[in-house]
Amino acid sequence: MGKEIIDEFRSYRKKMNERLLAQDNKVIKRIFNLDTNTYLDGALPARVKEMLGLVSSMVLRCDDCIRYHLEKCHEFDLSTEELMEVFAIANLVGGTIVVPHTRRALEYWEELNKRE
Amino acid sequence: MGKEIIDEFRSYRKKMNERLLAQDNKVIKRIFNLDTNTYLDGALPARVKEMLGLVSSMVLRCDDCIRYHLEKCHEFDLSTEELMEVFAIANLVGGTIVVPHTRRALEYWEELNKRE
Amino acid sequence: MGKEIIDEFRSYRKKMNERLLAQDNKVIKRIFNLDTNTYLDGALPARVKEMLGLVSSMVLRCDDCIRYHLEKCHEFDLSTEELMEVFAIANLVGGTIVVPHTRRALEYWEELNKRE
Amino acid sequence: MGKEIIDEFRSYRKKMNERLLAQDNKVIKRIFNLDTNTYLDGALPARVKEMLGLVSSMVLRCDDCIRYHLEKCHEFDLSTEELMEVFAIANLVGGTIVVPHTRRALEYWEELNKRE
Amino acid sequence: MGKEIIDEFRSYRKKMNERLLAQDNKVIKRIFNLDTNTYLDGALPARVKEMLGLVSSMVLRCDDCIRYHLEKCHEFDLSTEELMEVFAIANLVGGTIVVPHTRRALEYWEELNKRE
Amino acid sequence: MGKEIIDEFRSYRKKMNERLLAQDNKVIKRIFNLDTNTYLDGALPARVKEMLGLVSSMVLRCDDCIRYHLEKCHEFDLSTEELMEVFAIANLVGGTIVVPHTRRALEYWEELNKRE
């Protein structure tokens, strides 16, 4: 892996989301819609919500979901120190089975930071 | 990914199933046996059972299991509209962590349909 | 447990759903809405969708979700033989950790049938 | 359930934690220790960390863990509106199987608020 | 809880297993059969297999499965020190969401030991 | 896949563990430390503990964790017959969703044995 992991993730995700939405299933479309609205600023700032999305994705061990929220956390200028504290909670609550996902998450994060 | 995802999945699965069964562990052999019998026509038709197997594999987020049941659903001529309703239930019950698996499932399904 | 498990489940569920919705959080309200719409007749009949909801709840081991879908399956006149085949798939795919939930599911099902 | 759910949870948790620690297993003792340290103020404030612990407990569907983090969120004066946004993310990411845990979480939260 | 947790667990389990088997579903019956055979002496002694069953039940967080394997571990004279090391692995691999199950497991274990 | 899966796994794991530890987050460092200590000889021999780690990784379906414990089981001279009994318990307790991980585990195990 390396630089290309970001572009591959983004382009596959975009392509298949379009094909999924093209099927015109109402429930799927509403879930996609909700997925955008849930993370907007509200009583909690969007920045905190993205960390909540990230930690949830980590304990549920979904690499693609982790990458998506890492991108958002990066947009919100999360520091690596803050990120590591999210990782710490995920590994404590979810156990050492979260470690391999943490390794891949850190790699993706470092690629995001190189790209700036 | 593309056309070859079907052949790769099938050949790796076949090869390793043979090697697993060659170990001659009784429990593993019986579980493999049960796995075939459970999805046969009974009080419920095999077609419905394959959808039950598919939705279970989706909420438990096992890509290989999803592919296997997609192949079976394809043999039973499930329409893409029906499939999308199985996907909808999986994503509602299992949450947005099922979305990445749904993207990969749709890709595999579309490859299966191209091949006919 | 006995007769009262049905009434207790229904009344607690109803009471707390009302209190949840009273909080007026848009995302929660839309998820509740979706939860109703997803299981309506579509390309797949509602009866099949309820079985899909049931098997998903079983492999994810959520007793309350199981009870809810058992009630719906009961309304759609699922036979006990059909139900047992849903249970069989759930226990095969999800493993023996599903067994304790299957015990409680059968008890609830038998209570539902007594009540008629 | 009602008022007593708070006292029952707290006293059982306290009693059994003491009995667990009395066994003097080093790994268990260190995990308990870590569990305290992880949620202290750091790059992220303890208040945010408790929300991260809460959402993780919700998507992993652990009622006791949820209660513990609700108590902490209550100490940090989380508003019910903020809490509902944590619930929303948990239900979106984790799916409708999180709903029954959300019902019980709201009940516990309302008891905590009555007690003040 | 107290003394009666052992009798309640055993009698409910026995009663509902009988009712499940009475339904005469072949898959369910074979899974029950396998469940007995898998834990018999083989290349690995039954005593080790029961620990493997226990740790699996813990990380998958199934209280009833935990209780069943605790009973078996007790029959095989596992020491509390050995048990605590199984608990330690479960809590490390599965994370702090296993802690509440560990509290209940220790309580059940101590009841089993009092009964001798 | 083939010979190279062992080297790839080991080098990626080593590289990213170093980068994770370089971040100097105390919780992550302590979890890594605990991860080593937990599997040392104690009341239970390290050999049994590695099997406990393996079966936990299998039912939680973490391929990287499985590989790590396979390496350790190999160091402790586990026979393939013993290994298959660990696999059997994992597939029974965790269900057929564990099968794809078992296929990959056997492949990795056979590569480890070729290498001697």
**pLDDT tens digits, one per residue of C72-111:** 999 999 999 999 999 999 999 999 999 999 999 999 999 9
pLDDT of C115: 87
Of D91, D93, D96, the CB nearest to B97: D93
Q: Taking CB atoms and an 8 Å limit, are C86 and B42 in contact across chains?
A: no
pLDDT of E78: 98
How many C-beta atoms surround the C-beta of residue A90 within 10 A? Answer: 27
Tell me the nearest-neighbour CA distance from A115 into chain B, angstroms: 24
pLDDT classification of C53: cutoffs 50, 70, 90: very high
pLDDT in tens, D3-34: 799 999 999 999 999 999 999 999 999 999 99
- Helices C26-37, D80-94: crossing angle, 10 deg rounding: 30
The answer to whether F94 and F59 are in contact (CB under 8 A) is: yes
Contacts of F90 in chain E (CB under 8 A): 56
- The residue of A84, A99, A101, A106 whose CB has the most chain F CBs within 10 angstroms, and thus the best one to mutate to test that interface, is A99
Contacts of A64 in chain B (CB under 8 A): 99-100
pLDDT of B3: 72
Tell me the nearest-neighbour CA distance from D4 into chain A, angstroms: 27
Q: What angle do CA E72, E73, E77 make, to 5 degrees?
A: 115
Percent of chain D at pLDDT > 70 equals 97
pLDDT of A115: 87
Residue E69 Cα to chain centre, angstroms: 2
pLDDT classification of C1: cutoffs 50, 70, 90: low
B97-to-A59, C62, D100, F107 alpha-carbon distances in Å: 11, 17, 18, 28
pLDDT of D1: 52
F20 in contact with C, Cβ within 8 Å:
no
pLDDT in tens, B38-93: 999 999 999 999 999 999 999 999 999 999 999 999 999 999 999 999 999 999 99
- The residue of B24, B25, B36 whose CB has the most chain F CBs within 10 angstroms, and thus the best one to mutate to test that interface, is B25
Q: What is the mean pLDDT of residues C4-26?
A: 97
And the tokens for B52? 């039950």
Question: Mean pLDDT of all residues in chain D?
Answer: 96
Which of residues 73 through 102 in chain F touch C, CB cutoff 8 A? 91-98
Using only C-alpha atoms, chain B has a radius of gyration, in whole angstroms, of: 15
Closest Cα in chain F to B34: F96
Which of residues 35 through 74 in chain B touch A, CB cutoff 8 A? 61
Q: Which chains would you list as touching E if contact means 3+ CB atom pairs under 8 Å?
A: A, B, C, D, F
Q: Which chains would you list as touching D if contact means 3+ CB atom pairs under 8 Å?
A: A, B, C, E, F
Compute the count of residue pairs across chains A and C with CB atoms less than 8 Å apart: 14
Alpha-carbon span C58 to C73, nearest angstrom:
14
Closest Cα in chain B to C82: B43
Q: Which chains would you list as touching B if contact means 3+ CB atom pairs under 8 Å?
A: A, C, D, E, F
Q: Is the pTM of this model over 0.95?
A: yes
Write the burial class of residue B56 (CB in 10 Å: 0-12 exposed, 13-18 middle, 19+ buried): buried
pLDDT of B98: 98
The answer to whether A58 and A94 are in contact (CB under 8 A) is: yes
Closest CA to F50 of E103, B50, F26, F58: F58
Alpha-carbon span D95 to D101, nearest angstrom:
11
How many C-beta atoms surround the C-beta of residue D60 within 10 A? Answer: 23
Per-residue confidence in pLDDT tens, chain A, 116 aa: 567 999 999 999 999 999 999 999 999 999 999 999 999 999 999 999 999 999 999 999 999 999 999 999 999 999 999 999 999 999 999 999 999 999 999 999 999 999 86
Closest CA to A73 of A116, A32, A112, A34: A112
Q: How many CA atoms lie within 13 A of A59 on its CB side?
A: 33
pLDDT of F3: 72
Q: What is the mean pLDDT of residues E42-53?
A: 98
The label of the residue with tokens 């009092």 reads E114
pLDDT of B11: 98
Q: What is the mean pLDDT of residues B97-101?
A: 98
pLDDT classification of C2: cutoffs 50, 70, 90: low
Tell me the nearest-neighbour CA distance from A38 into chain C, angstroms: 6
**CA distance from start to end of chain C:** 18
Residues of chain D with pLDDT under 50: none
And the tokens for C26? 């848009």
Q: What is the mean pLDDT of residues E1-15?
A: 90
pLDDT in tens, E50-59: 999 999 999 9
Q: Taking CB atoms and an 8 Å limit, are A59 and E95 in contact across chains?
A: yes
Handedness of CA F48, F50, F51, F55 (dihedral sign): positive
Tell me the nearest-neighbour CA distance from D63 into chain B, angstroms: 18
And the tokens for C66? 């199981």
